[in-house]
Structure 1
Amino acid sequence: MKLLLTDSGVTNPSIHAALVGMLDRPIAESHALCIPTGMYGHPRAGLDRAWQFISGTSENPMVDLGWKSVGVLELTALPSIDADRWVPLVEEADVLLVSGGDVLYLAYWMRESGLTDLLPSLEKTVWVGLSAGSMVMTPEVGEDFIQWRPKTGDISPLGLVDFSIFPHVAPEGMPGNTLAEAESWIQGISGPGYVIDGQTAIAVVDGVVEVVSEGTWQLMRREEVASAGR
């Protein structure tokens, strides 16, 4: 699987070009499935935000990029239907568009639905994550980004990449997360973490990681931040 882990969607020409480069055919000939599930677990998201994502009317360009077709893959529904009704559709899709929301809620339903088990076989599929839809691929999210906790007590995302993501970093005084908050966050993360803004994405193809950005980003490690006295 090819990963395009975005902060806020396909927000600029560089991220758009990265997406086009990952696909085996043009966007206009590609079939997409969108996954809104993460929205339902976040206290500030919910039904209206889920509909905006599905309908392509949100401020995060993903569903509205001109796909040949777009379907909805609602993970909470999958355990109640036979796998042969949805697995072939996932296998045939060129791209999975995954909304933001709550990381652990999304991770829980990816596991419960069986989608996580299917991912290793989707070698040519492109996963385009938005915020939590990107963070779910990481090994750790940090306490700052935990709102919902599963009854199982498992607070680990999927760990398909070896770095964490701190999204929505913004200049001091602007809406979003501050750099100081990111430096505090990294102290609770055991591995490296990318601090990214709305104009940044992280592409992962065949294990090779590339930052695609027309904005601001940093790669942080807790020992480096600590040694700098921050």
Structure 2
Amino acid sequence: MKLLLTSCGITNASLRNALVDLLGKPISECSALLIPTAAYSFPDGPDLALRLIDGTATSPLSGLGWKSLGVLELSVLPTVRLENWVPRLRETDALLVGGGDPMFLCRWMRRSGLADLLPSLDSVYVGVSGGSVAVGAVGDDYDGRDEPVGVAEAIGLVQFAIYPHLDHPDMPDAALAEIERWAGRLSSPTYAIDDQTAIRVVDGEVDVISEGRWELVGA
């Protein structure tokens, strides 16, 4: 699986070009499945999920001009026959994983069976904020909204952590000094990325796509 792990979606031309390169064809020729699950951990989760789906969220994702777009809600999948969703998952070009609580998302990725399927998929995994955090090393005190998830319970598609929204004016915990304190509890390096940056992973090779600021902490 190829990954494009963003802080705030496809926010600039460099990130869009990186996505097209990973897909191997124009977005208008690609199918996508959108996962809004992480949003539901927040009090305004239903509103956040709607904006993610209808393309009005501040993180550009669903409105990029996909040939087809479906919604895959992880919390219902344990009650759905595998043959009703796994084939569609395997044939989709991109898996769009929205933001929210990464711990909550990790839990539903495991309960739904998606976590076990991800390594075998040919899709491009496009994460936003919590959707990016969840596939790496997640600290057990990421935001305190839900039951703690230790590093060992993270999905582990990559061997580093991501802390999104670096220097965001409305997020004091995203100041670099705070991120460095958080990252100090992890055994893996942490990429602190702002909303104009993404981490690209292809066959284990990692590089940074950015029109903004990023820092590698604890390398």
Code of the aligned partner of 2:166: V
Q: CA deviation at 1:170?
A: 1.0
Q: Percent identity?
A: 49
In structure 2, how many angstroms separate the alpha carbons of the residues matched to 1:141 and 1:51? Answer: 28
In structure 2, how many angstroms separate the alpha carbons of the residues matched to 1:192 and 1:79? Answer: 33
- Structure 1 portions without partners, runs of 5+: 225-230
Q: 1:136 aligns with which of 121, 134, 147?
A: 134
Code of the aligned partner of 1:184: R
Match of 2:5 in 1: 5
Q: CA deviation at 1:28?
A: 0.4
Contact 2:139 2:150 in 1 (8 A): no
Q: CA deviation at 1:154?
A: 5.7
- TM-score normalised by length of structure 1: 0.89
Q: CA deviation at 1:180?
A: 1.5
Match of 2:166 in 1: 169
In structure 2, how many angstroms separate the alpha carbons of the residues matched to 1:19 and 1:219? Answer: 22
In structure 1, how many angstroms separate the alpha carbons of the residues matched to 2:183 and 2:115? Answer: 26
Match of 1:117 in 2: 116
Code of the aligned partner of 1:32: A
Match of 1:57 in 2: 56
Q: 2:124 aligns with which of 109, 123, 126?
A: 126
- TM-score normalised by length of structure 2: 0.94
Equivalent position SS for 1:21 = helix
Match of 1:93 in 2: 92
Code of the aligned partner of 2:170: P
Contact 2:138 2:150 in 1 (8 A): no
Contact 1:166 1:194 in 2 (8 A): yes
Q: What is the total number of aligned residue pairs between the two structures?
A: 216
Contact 2:119 2:157 in 1 (8 A): no
Contact 1:35 1:72 in 2 (8 A): yes
Contact 2:197 2:211 in 1 (8 A): yes
In structure 2, how many angstroms separate the alpha carbons of the residues matched to 1:64 and 1:141? Answer: 31
Equivalent position SS for 1:9 = coil
Match of 2:194 in 1: 197
The alignment yields a C-alpha RMSD, in angstroms, of 1.6
- Structure 2 portions without partners, runs of 5+: none
Match of 1:217 in 2: 214
Structure of greater Rg: 1
State which drifts further: 66-75 or 140-149: 140-149
Match of 1:227 in 2: none
In structure 1, how many angstroms separate the alpha carbons of the residues matched to 2:16 and 2:144? Answer: 30
In structure 2, how many angstroms separate the alpha carbons of the residues matched to 1:142 and 1:170? Answer: 22
Q: CA deviation at 1:67?
A: 0.2
